[in-house]
Amino acid sequence: MSLKDLALRAKMSPSRAHYYLTSFVRVGLVAQTGPGANYDLGPEALRLGLAALAHLDILNIAREAMFEIRDATGEAVFLSVWGNRGPTIVHRLEGFHLSPLSIRVGSVLDPLSATGRAILSTLSDTLVREMIAPILAEAKPDDLGYGTAIDDAIALVAEARRDGFARGHRTVAAESGFVGLAAPIVTFENSVQAALTINGDAKTLDMKRSGRNVTALLAATKRIATLTGAP
Instruction: Give me the pLDDT at residue 43, please.
Output: 87
C-alpha span between 110 and 200 (Å, rounded): 17
pTM score of the predicted model: 0.72
Instruction: Give me the pLDDT at residue 190, please.
Output: 65
Instruction: Give me the pLDDT at residue 80, please.
Output: 92
Q: Which residue from 114, 89, 94 is spatially nearest to 104, judged by alpha carbons?
A: 89
Average pLDDT of the residues in 171-187: 73
The answer to whether the Cα torsion of 206, 210, 214, 216 is positive or negative is negative
Query: pLDDT tens digits for 6-37?
Result: 999 999 999 999 999 999 999 999 998 777 78
C-alpha span between 146 and 124 (Å, rounded): 22
Q: Please report which residue ranges of 55-113 form alpha helices under DSSP H.
A: 57-73
Question: Residue 85 above 90 pLDDT?
Answer: no
What's the mean pLDDT when you consider all of the chain? 85
Average pLDDT of the residues in 116-123: 92
Residue 80, φ and ψ in degrees, nearest 5 = -130, 150
Compare 148 and 176 and report the one with higher pLDDT: 148
Average pLDDT of the residues in 59-86: 88
102: confidence class by pLDDT, cuts 50, 70, 90: low
In this structure, the number of other CB atoms found within 10 A of the CB of residue 209 comes to 12
Question: Residue 229 above 60 pLDDT?
Answer: yes
- In order of their start, the domains of the chain are 3-43 (no CATH), 56-227 (3.30.450.40)
Q: Which residue from 141, 149, 85 is spatially nearest to 111, judged by alpha carbons?
A: 85
SS3 state at 178: strand
Kindly give, in sequence order, each residue whose CB lies less than 8 Å from that of residue 66, ignoring residues fewer than 6 positions away: 77, 79, 91, 93, 196, 220
